[in-house]
Amino acid sequence: MNRRSFVQSGVLSVAGAGIGMARTSERQTQMQGATFKLNYAPHFGMFASLAGRDLLDQLQFMYDEGFRAFEDNEMRNRPVETQEAIASRLGSLGMQMGVFVAHTIEWSEPGLVDSDKHERFLSEVRSSVDVAKRVNATWMTVVPGHVNLRIDPALQTANVIDVLRRACDILEPHELVMVLEPLNFRDHPGQFLTSVPQAFEICKAVNSPSCRILNDLYHQQIQVGNLIPNLDAAWPQTAYFQIGDNPGRKEPGTGEINYLNVFGHIHSKGYTGILGMEHGMVGSGKEGERALIEAYREVDSFAAD
């Protein structure tokens, strides 16, 4: 190629790139505020730079950006008047409340594997029923807690199944669901529940519509991988998903998980539930928050039948 042809080619390439960037910008502008295909649920604080610190303003911002669900791990610990205000705003916006954590999680001491921890857990589940009613929630997160190396693993499993059945007796009359979240060994060493197949086994043994799986795809990528076949295998017992890319536990597109394919597969199965955005973000401030939203636009661009 001679110099003149090379220069002309370069000019055309630059012009083409400019057209491509313009089209991308136009698409982003057109999509801003459109409802997402899947029901992604942000947390408080995720858009504090763009929306401000006020919690109700943040909910309004989430809605304006196309999100139709929200989750809050700390809801149980918020003042009653705050819970009621959040519920009122969610109701007026037509947004759905996702999970909150139902009980005290034992991160370093033996948890529900010990029968002497059961009564406190059941008491907290009862109080969480009131929270769920107040904020119109259906799901609450349960993490069985740390193992006890002095108890046989089979007996630990039996203890967990026993207390979860008792918890279902509390939840079933209210049509509420606890979702069991398996955690990865790297971030949470020593936890009893680590994989979706293990959670599936426990849910089958508990045998109640009030005991289902929360499949956190970040944890499961680290723990077992093989995300799509494993979610298919556990589908009958799965009620909720959470999101985070690996490594880093940041927004989709920042790690190794092909979320475009994963979300497309989940959508193809007819899933209409919530996918909690339980992760951080690569950037910061307004630019980082806007980049996070655009990351969800990209992975939500799968073809929908």
Please tell me the predicted confidence (pLDDT) of residue 30: 52
Distance (Å) of CA 18 to CA 22, 26, 194, 267, 283: 6, 12, 47, 33, 25
| Mean pLDDT calculated for residue range 49-73 | 98
| Mean pLDDT calculated for residue range 217-236 | 98
As a whole number of Å, the end-to-end CA separation of the chain is: 46
Residue 185, phi then psi, degrees to nearest 5: -70, -25
Tell me what percent of the residues of the chain surpass a pLDDT of 90. Answer: 89
Q: Is the pLDDT of residue 17 over 70?
A: no
> pLDDT for 111-138, tens place per residue?
999 999 999 999 999 999 999 999 999 9
| Mean pLDDT calculated for residue range 255-277 | 98
Residue 167 corresponds to which amino acid? Answer: A
Instruction: Name residues whose C-beta falls within 8 Å of residue 287's C-beta, 6 or more positions apart in sequence.
Output: none
Dihedral-angle region of residue 143 (phi above 0 means left; psi in -120 to 50 means alpha; beta otherwise): beta
Closest residue by Cα to residue 98 from 42, 148, 56, 38 = 42
Alpha carbons 210 and 171: distance in angstroms, whole number: 6
| Mean pLDDT calculated for residue range 152-164 | 98
Residue 86 has which token pair?
């959040």
Distance (Å) of CA 182 to CA 71, 143, 239: 18, 7, 13
> pLDDT for 23-54, tens place per residue?
444 545 456 789 999 999 999 999 999 999 99
Q: Is 211 helix (H, G, I), strand (E, B) or coil?
A: strand
Please tell me the predicted confidence (pLDDT) of residue 60: 98
HSE-up (13 A, CA, CB side) for residue 261: 7
Alpha carbons 262 and 269: distance in angstroms, whole number: 11
Please tell me the predicted confidence (pLDDT) of residue 279: 98
Instruction: Name residues whose C-beta falls within 8 Å of residue 204's C-beta, 6 or more positions apart in sequence.
Output: 237
pTM of the model: 0.89
Please tell me the predicted confidence (pLDDT) of residue 134: 98
Alpha carbons 194 and 196: distance in angstroms, whole number: 7
Please tell me the predicted confidence (pLDDT) of residue 236: 98
